[in-house]
Amino acid sequence: MRKAIAQLCGYLSAAVYLGAYFPQILENYRSKSCEGLSVAMFVLVIFANVTYCMSILTYQRPTLDYLQKYAAWLLGAAGTIWLELLVLWQFYVYRGNSRC
């Protein structure tokens, strides 16, 4: 039962973590600006999530059981990398529209 609760919390955390990026991405799109955001923060968060995923994948030989056990945490970290890259792309696209 405790493992099921831990997995549920992990997937809930991943969903919230992934969902948290969408309001900012939509705001950037609507305003065609990234004003007030820090490029350095997004670069560092990408680096942190990449190293977090690497720590899970290199801790032990990744068997199917191991990957299933840590899937929620990998989803949360790896999934946000794509969203963070999208924000970096927005910095590039909207760079002339503000002080991005």
Alpha-carbon torsion 29, 97, 37, 41, what sign?
positive
Report the C-alpha gap between 70 and 72 in whole angstroms: 6
Quote helix, strand, coil % in the chain, to nearest 5: 80, 0, 20
CA pair distance 59, 5, nearest whole angstrom: 23
pLDDT digits (tens, 9 = 90+) for 27-80: 999 999 999 999 999 999 999 999 999 999 998 888 888 888 889 999 999 999
Per-residue model confidence (pLDDT) at position 87: 97
Domain assignments of the chain as residue spans, ordered by start:
2-93
CA distance 68 to 20: 24
What does the pLDDT read at residue 31?
Answer: 94
Question: Is residue 99 over pLDDT 70?
Answer: no
pTM: 0.84
Q: Do residues 90 and 32 make contact, with C-beta atoms less than 8 angstroms apart? A: no
Domain 2-93 = CATH 1.20.1280: yes
